[in-house]
Structure 1
Amino acid sequence: MAGSAELLLSGPLLADGAIETRLIYEFGLPTPDFAAFVHLFSDTGRATLASIYRGYLEIAAESGLPMQVGTPTWRAHPDGLARQGFCAPGDLACVNAAAFELLAGLRAELGLEGRVLIAGVIGPRRDGYDPAGAPDTAEAEAYHGAQARTLAALGVDLLYAPTFASAPELEGVARACAATALPYALAPVVDEAGRMPDGTALADAVARVDEGVTPPPRHFLLGCVHPARVDQVAGAGALPGHHRVAGVKANAADLPAEELNRLDRLAGDPPEAFARAMLGLRRHGLTIFGGCCGTTDAHIRALAHGMKAEGWATGEAPA
């Protein structure tokens, strides 16, 4: 699907919504360390994951919009697997394969090949919001390379590395992704001033990766942040030039990470308000829109309705 992937990545694109927060708060499935992959290995968990992903894919089928869906593998790297008791030599391949096969099967079932991209998700080695203890660039390249190679060999359409808090680790995971020859996208965490948790300005982080990694990412996204904060970043002139940031997977609630972590329920903007705020970001050149913490299929459906109403289903973003 290499040609299709490049074509779909070049235009407006819908992305899926939350997985982990829905597992925990909507379906009552404990998901320690946000390791959604653990649910692939129980009947209840696998059925729940299939239901969540099917809901997102049905929106792509109903709307006619292209969509990116990400594998539930944010913690399916060596340390993350070990923390959940997956320590056997073949567990990295087994877990990532189970995740890909779930999505590939649903995509085929709904006849969405050529219209839905499966993104192989790679998360940070430690904390997505705290750079303390993050690996340096060389260590990150070596560490994340194992999962990147595994996902690429399975047949994902692109690699996607979201919620990285450290610029050196971001560059390292970029090198690991680049070595697979697949298109890939990065989504560093930023605050309303456009700085990563380690203090690196977003524009500097993007320049560091673009200048230091060959090939560079297809684009960058912003993830796990409310659309109002993205608007602040853009309004402050903190987005890098040349439209290197192509989109956002946004939280439903405009809360800092520490408050989000204290919630015991799904919370945030209603779907229609969320969609309006998201689509307002197109004035900053963004064309990829999806959800993160607190979003549901209702939020993604509202986004799809808004994109169609504005003519985005044709593959051309309106001016």
Structure 2
Amino acid sequence: MPPLLRPELLYLSYVGIETDLIFNHGIDLPEFSLYPKVETEDGRALLRRYAKAQIAIATANGMGAILETPTWMANTDRAAALGYNAEALDRINAKAVTLLREDRTASEHHVLISGNIGPRDDAYAPSEQMDADTACAYHTRQINALRGVDMIGAFTLTYVAEAIGIARAAQAAETPVVLSFTVETDGRLPDGMALCDAMAACDDATDGSAAFYMINCAHPEHFAHVLDGGAWQQRLGGIVVNASRCSHAELDAATKLDAGDPKALGVQIAALSADHRNLRVFGGCCGTDARHLNAIATALRAEN
């Protein structure tokens, strides 16, 4: 059982806010970056609405909630196009934590705050790969700026060395970390590595320092076949899924959102929960919105 989580609860996670804002609400997010919203009153109100809605859905279905800071793109390389320097990003990362801590204070249900960090490069196909030491040095500053969170949530990781570096940086900061890998339609990482091998390599290189691992940015049909019930799955604690069955290449080229079938998605996730009790965190990634979160939480409540 991942030590961060209460054993009697399942948890609702959401990392799909960007696609919801852009495609469903017509809100422009330059460079696909959400973190500038922390800087304005209207932006903070928007982020609070999402957090409160997520908590409400979780609470109504007897789940805990994991709130992710809007800082997935708030690292120096990916923020450079918007003119943010390292000092400005430190300020924004810290503000994002404060914002969610206020939302948690208002909630009576069990809520964890996750400091969300993304990869240095493209979340589907990085142009180059860092070694673990370089990745550790690179991500240390953002992890330190996110102090006060319950955990670091590193999402859309595409190769092992960056995940190892992030785990080492979080360990140095004495902050629990969850490592979440992007998988393709074959259930493997973008570089072809099997998920079980990636997790084992990370554990071997970090003495198993990650609290647990997750799968992100894929439809259940892309990875269900790799969940073979092996011992490695005891380290797999959650899944945040895409609404669409499309590949990442197809999603990148899409001009219209494919929202899939929220109810069917909820049923698929509930079935995975029934078959794989090690999974404790469930939620939405690209293309999902409140409809999908409701469907997932409702199906999980019925199944459990």
- Provide TM-score, normalisation by structure 2: 0.91
Q: Measure how far apart 1:267 and its partner are.
A: 1.8
Q: Is the 8 A contact 1:186 1:221 kept in 2?
A: yes
Of 235, 260, 271 in structure 1, the residue corresponding to residue 262 of structure 2 is 271
Q: Which residue of 2 aligns with 1:225?
A: 218
Mark the CA change 1:146 to 1:214 in structure 2 (over 3 Å): closer, same or farther: farther
Of 136, 151, 160 in structure 2, the residue corresponding to residue 141 of structure 1 is 136
Of 111, 114, 117 in structure 2, the residue corresponding to residue 116 of structure 1 is 111
State the distance in 2 between where 1:276 and 1:131 align. 33
Identity over aligned residues, as a percent?
34
Q: Is the 8 A contact 1:5 1:157 kept in 2?
A: no
Mark the CA change 1:242 to 1:43 in structure 2 (over 3 Å): closer, same or farther: closer
Q: Measure how far apart 1:77 and its partner are.
A: 1.4
Q: How does 1:88-167 map to 2 (within 5 A)?
A: 89-112=86-109, 115-151=110-146, 153=147, 155-167=148-160
Amino acid in structure 1 at the alignment position of 2:6: L
Q: Which residue of 1 aligns with 2:22?
A: 24
Q: Which residue of 2 aligns with 1:243?
A: 234
State the distance in 1 between where 2:175 and 2:125 align. 28
Q: Measure how far apart 1:49 and its partner are.
A: 2.2
Q: Which residue of 2 aligns with 1:315?
A: none
State the distance in 2 between where 1:5 and 1:59 align. 23
Amino acid in structure 1 at the alignment position of 2:276: H
- Provide TM-score, normalisation by structure 1: 0.87
State the distance in 1 between where 2:15 and 2:90 align. 25
Q: Deviations over 1:260-319 (max 9, x none)?
A: 1223333232221110011111213423210000111121112221222223xxxxxxxx
Q: How does 1:168-187 map to 2 (within 5 A)?
A: 168-187=161-180
Q: Deviations over 1:91-112 (max 9, x none)?
A: 1221111211221222222334
Q: Is the 8 A contact 1:185 1:218 kept in 2?
A: yes
Structure 2 unpaired stretches of 5+: none
Q: Measure how far apart 1:44 and its partner are.
A: 3.5
Of 283, 301, 304 in structure 2, the residue corresponding to residue 308 of structure 1 is 301
Q: SS of the residue aligned with 1:90?
A: helix
Q: Is 1:284 the counterpart of 2:276 in the alignment?
A: yes
Q: SS of the residue aligned with 2:4?
A: helix
Q: Is the 8 A contact 2:143 2:170 kept in 1?
A: yes
Q: SS of the residue aligned with 2:162?
A: helix
Q: SS of the residue aligned with 1:276?
A: helix
State the distance in 2 between where 1:21 and 1:92 align. 22
Q: SS of the residue aligned with 2:190?
A: coil
Amino acid in structure 1 at the alignment position of 2:167: A
Mark the CA change 1:215 to 1:310 in structure 2 (over 3 Å): closer, same or farther: same
State the distance in 2 between where 1:198 and 1:240 align. 23
Amino acid in structure 1 at the alignment position of 2:295: A
Amino acid in structure 2 at the alignment position of 1:298: R
Q: Deviations over 1:53-81 (max 9, x none)?
A: 22112212323311112111101112223
Between Structure 1 and Structure 2, how many residues are aligned? 301
Amino acid in structure 1 at the alignment position of 2:263: E
State the distance in 2 between where 1:96 and 1:267 align. 31
Q: How does 1:16-55 map to 2 (within 5 A)?
A: 16-55=14-53
Mark the CA change 1:238 to 1:82 in structure 2 (over 3 Å): closer, same or farther: farther
Q: How does 1:191-210 map to 2 (within 5 A)?
A: 191-210=184-203
Q: SS of the residue aligned with 1:217?
A: coil
State the distance in 1 between where 2:3 and 2:70 align. 20
State the distance in 1 between where 2:243 and 2:233 align. 28
State the distance in 2 between where 1:125 and 1:109 align. 33
